[in-house]
Amino acid sequence: MSDTTITPDTPAAPSSPKREFRSLYAIDDLTRKRNAAERRFKAYGIGAILIGLFFLAVLAYSIIKEGIPAFTRTIVEVEFALTQEQFDAAEKELFKTKAYENFFIGALKTQLDESGMDVPFDEAAIERLVGKTGGTIREFFKSNPDQLGKPVEFELAASSRVDGYRNGRVTRETITDSRFLQKSDLDIVDALVEAEVIKTVFNWNFITGADSGVDNPGGAGIGASVVGSFFMMLVVLALSLPIGVAASIYLEEFAPQNRFTDLIEVNISNLAAVPSIVFGILGLAVFIQFMHLPQSAPLVGGLVLTLMTLPTIIISTRASLKAVPPSIRDAALGIGASKMQATFHHVLPLAMPGILTGTILGLAQALGETAPLLLIGMVGFVARGYPDGFIAGFTEPNSAMPAQIYTWAARADFAFYEKAWGGIIVLLVFLLTMNIIAIILRRRFERRW
């Protein structure tokens, strides 16, 4: 039987489709399904972008949350006067620093009594909060005897656990009684905070100081490694800018089409994708094993990073040379300039903003690179001080920011983790500044032809 024979009053066989006549505006099932698939597909895309942005937000949040405490430090501020008699008496004692400590605790007690605090505390608790204070006080009065008898404001660094309590790293729930800190001490801390004896101040030492060694997380600073990074970047800039520009000019303006040029091109595009750690191996084998340059010196780090960033800089420099229209070259050649003159007097100056932008971005990449630095000895080296001179800045062992952060992250004491996050903030501030400079350069000087 065929569809044409079906009359409206005979029921259709179940197998034969019945054509419903509907308006074009009414959406049928298939269209609905396709539209749903369309919406789903679009939602996946939005979801993917949101996931990416979510990770970015989480990353930013945890860097800021964990890193900000590194920029503050907790101090115990006590006004304290020592009379000449007390000084003489203490110097006669067998345990001199202990005597000073007793004076100090006495002074603290009176100061607290005046402010009306009623939490009991003993010497051991004070020692847990601020460490052994006697040495510091004795040191001060021995070198400044004229201060005897006058009230002196002492700013003593609180122990790293008190610091942690103030930053929320240590809480009442997580703390276990130990010889470092006990639960009852937290009451004292609270009371002292109330009395404005314990204060949180900005930690300049973190920005200007040097690394402190394994046992003193509180005193660790990133300053010395910032200097190390700075010298490294000087080397990278001084080498990679001229070499990169020269190489790009050759490849873009002069190179004939031959095997040698092809070889260079292939090498550059492959070097751009070689893992950075391989450059570290190169640095170790060539600069340290073979040439006997000093280990963990910014000079060696700079050389390795130069080789690593050269491909990036060459690629971006070539792009900006290519962007200069050929009419400029033709005009220069037409009035009698040599090819070299046309390139250096006309093409290069016009391409310079783009080249500088690319170079700054290359430097930023080099600044954050860690793995090659580990291999040339910048891990485990404790940068305890600033280099003493301009030349020494290149040749004396130093750390660099990323290497310093890694060193802190690899240490056992949890208090160093905070420093590592803080170091990351400093590093990112530098990177952000460089990127902003690059963007401004591009906006300000880039020419569209």
Partner 1 sequence: MSLFWLFLIILAIALVGYVLGRARALSSAGGERSALHSLPSYYGANVAMKAAVPAFLLLVIWLLAQPFYVNSEVSGLIPDTEIAEGSSRDLVLAEVRRAARGLENAVRSGAMTEEFASNARADISDVTTRLKEAGQIVTSEISQPILIAAQRYRSLSSIGNFYMSIAVILIAIGGALWGLRETKAEFRARNTVELGMRAILVGAASIAILTTIGIVLSLVFNTAEFFRIYPASDFFFGLTWAPSFSGRGGTSELGIIPLLWGTFYISFVALAVAVPIGLFAAIYLAEYASSRVRSTAKPLLEILAGIPTIVYGLFALLTVGPLLVSVFGDNGIGIMKAGTSVMTAGLVMGVMLIPFVSSLSDDIINAVPQAMRDGSYGLGATKSETVKQVILPAALPGIVGAVLLAASRAIGETMIVVLGAGAAARLSLNPFEAMTTVTAKIVSQLTGDADFASPVALVAFALGMTLFVVTLGLNIVALYIVRKYREQYD
Q: How far is CA 427 from the centre of its chain?
A: 3
Assess 409 for contact with partner 1 (CB under 8 A): yes
Assess 119 for contact with partner 1 (CB under 8 A): no
Question: How is 105-117 classified by DSSP, letter by letter?
Answer: HHHHHHHHHHTT-
Question: How is 399-421 classified by DSSP, letter by letter?
Answer: --HHHHHHHHHTSS-THHHHHHH
CB of 165 to partner 1, least distance (A): 19
Do residues 171 and 160 touch, judged by C-beta distance below 8 A? no
- Find the binding residues for partner 1 in span 251-310 (CB under 8 A): 251, 254-255, 263-264, 267-271, 273-279, 281-282, 284-286, 289-292, 307, 310
CB of 394 to partner 1, least distance (A): 10
Task: Tell me the C-alpha distance between 362 and 368, whole Å.
Answer: 10
- Find the binding residues for partner 1 in span 226-245 (CB under 8 A): 242-244
Task: Tell me the C-alpha distance between 73 and 163, whole Å.
Answer: 7
Residue with tokens 């084998």, as numbered in its chain = 285
Which CB atom, from 58 or from 440, has the smaller least distance to partner 1? 58
Q: Which of 62, 84, 144, 147 binds partner 1 (CB under 8 A)?
A: 62
Copy the structure tokens of residue 182.
Answer: 């006990």
User: According to the 3-state scheme, what is the secondary structure of 120-167?
Assistant: CCCHHHHHHHHCCCHHHHHHHHHHCHHHCCCEEEEEEECCHHHHHHHH
Task: Tell me the C-alpha distance between 366 and 337, whole Å.
Answer: 38
3-class SS of residue 253: helix
Strand pairing class (72-81; 198-202)? antiparallel
Which CB atom, from 227 or from 434, has the smaller least distance to partner 1? 434
- Find the binding residues for partner 1 in span 378-397 (CB under 8 A): 379-380, 391
Q: For residue 248, how many other CB atoms are within 10 A of its CB?
A: 25
CB of 182 to partner 1, least distance (A): 26
The strand pairing partners of 202, in sequence order, are 72
Do residues 140 and 104 touch, judged by C-beta distance below 8 A? no
Which CB atom, from 379 or from 382, has the smaller least distance to partner 1? 379
Copy the structure tokens of residue 63.
Answer: 């860097």
CB of 26 to partner 1, least distance (A): 18
Sheet of 72-81: strand order equals 151-157, 72-81, 198-202
What residues contact residue 22 under an 8 Å CB cut-off, 6+ apart? Answer: 28
Which CB atom, from 197 or from 364, has the smaller least distance to partner 1? 364
Q: Which of 126, 162, 405, 415 binds partner 1 (CB under 8 A)?
A: 405
CB of 23 to partner 1, least distance (A): 19
Give how many residues touch partner 1 by CB under 8 A.
Answer: 88
Q: Give the CA angle between residues 412, 413, 417 to the nearest 5°.
A: 100
CB of 285 to partner 1, least distance (A): 3
CB of 148 to partner 1, least distance (A): 36
Which CB atom, from 81 or from 291, has the smaller least distance to partner 1? 291
Which CB atom, from 94 or from 273, has the smaller least distance to partner 1? 273
- Find the binding residues for partner 1 in span 301-360 (CB under 8 A): 307, 310-311, 314, 338-340
Which CB atom, from 112 or from 245, has the smaller least distance to partner 1? 245
**Which range binds partner 1 by CB under 8 A, 2-10, 140-148, 164-172, 364-372?**
364-372
**Which range binds partner 1 by CB under 8 A, 43-51, 123-131, 150-158, 228-236?**
43-51
CB of 325 to partner 1, least distance (A): 21
Which CB atom, from 135 or from 380, has the smaller least distance to partner 1? 380
Q: Which of 12, 27, 56, 89 binds partner 1 (CB under 8 A)?
A: 56
CB of 78 to partner 1, least distance (A): 35
CB of 248 to partner 1, least distance (A): 8
Interhelix angle 223-249/298-322, nearest 10 degrees: 40
